[in-house]
Amino acid sequence: MKLLEGKVAVVTGGTRGIGLAIVKAFLQEGASVALFGSRQETVDKALAEIQAEDKDAKVMGLAPDLANFSAVESAMAKVKETFGKIDILANNAGVSAREPIYDYSPEAFDKVIQLNVNSVFYCAKAVAPIMKEQGGGAIINTSSMVSLYGQSAGCSYPASKFAVNGLTKSLARELGKDKIRVNAVLPGVTRTDMVAALPPEMVARISAPIPLGRVGEPEEVANAFVFLASDKASYISGALLSVDGAAQV
Ligand code: NAD
């Protein structure tokens, strides 16, 4: 029996990196998946890649503006219309930041918060009534290891991920009565396009202080999403699950 057989999932930022790995892992475990991306073109590219690997994959793609709550609501309604329900929301779309505060414009700061925090709230707010009506669901937010101790530049990024942890803990308390579980996964340095493009010496330098001695693979982060989305995690809510090789930097 597959872990997510018969379930319907939405994955934001599902076109590449960790999000695409989550989409593929959910599909392999039997779910129907709607992936959201920022542009229709990248959505179509991800759908083509998935369908080339499995022509029967139960997958659809949309590109709603995650900064616009009614666009998010319409996209969730479209998923429900297509697949009949929504059991799982993986709130994964996110951007990082590296600017020192001296060069950091308020507009650039706001942009990170808008996507990393506000869109997590918008997506959760749009699916919660659907899940409540169905009798439950699972929301899993992508946080980061820096949500535990900050980082030395690009302060919006850890600030946004501290907020994601706060949303996770608070919504777990608020939505428990509706049988909606809310958890977060905190990835460490993960081999997405950005890390894959680095020279091997640099990857080795990044890996050295990590107790497990290497960066993580997107599939290893996706496995945590599968577990938290599945009925195997039926009594887990409000958890912040680190997938970072015990990194502490
Ligand atoms: P990525 O840049 O490879 O992918 C980001 C995804 O978000 C893409 O699918 C993109 O379409 C989507 N996205 C970006 N801007 C958007 C916008 N304005 N509107 C809608 N969608 C938008 O990133 P990734 O490394 O796979 O990161 C995914 C998540 O994991 C993020 O929340 C990130 O903060 C978190 N994370 C990543 C790492 C890492 O090392 N890669 C570590 C910790 C946390």
Tell me how far the alpha carbon of residue 95 lies from the centroid of ligand 1, in angstroms.
Answer: 5
Nearest-atom index, ligand 1, CA of 116: 32
Residue with CA closest to ligand 1 atom 41: 190
Tell me how far the alpha carbon of residue 17 lies from the centroid of ligand 1, in angstroms.
Answer: 7
Write out pLDDT tens, residues 92-114.
Answer: 999 999 999 999 999 999 999 99
- Give me the pLDDT at residue 179, please: 98
> Probe ligand 1: pick from 186, 190, 202, 244, max atoms within 8 Å of CB?
190
Provide mean pLDDT across the span 61-71. 98
- Give me the pLDDT at residue 249, please: 57
**pLDDT at residue 40 is higher than 80:** yes
Identity at 104, one-letter amino acid code: Y
- Give me the pLDDT at residue 18, please: 98
Buried b / exposed e along 161-183 (16+ C-beta atoms within 10 A): bbbbbebbbebbeebeeeebbbb
| CB of 93 shorter than 6 A to ligand 1 | yes
Nearest to 206 by CA among 197, 143, 154, 198: 198
- Give me the pLDDT at residue 198, please: 83
Domain ranges of the chain: 8-242
Is 157 assigned a catalytic role?
Answer: yes
How high does pLDDT run on average in the chain?
Answer: 96
The CATH number of 8-242, from 3.40.390.10, 3.20.20.70, 3.20.20.10, 3.40.50.720, is: 3.40.50.720
| CB of 154 shorter than 6 A to ligand 1 | no
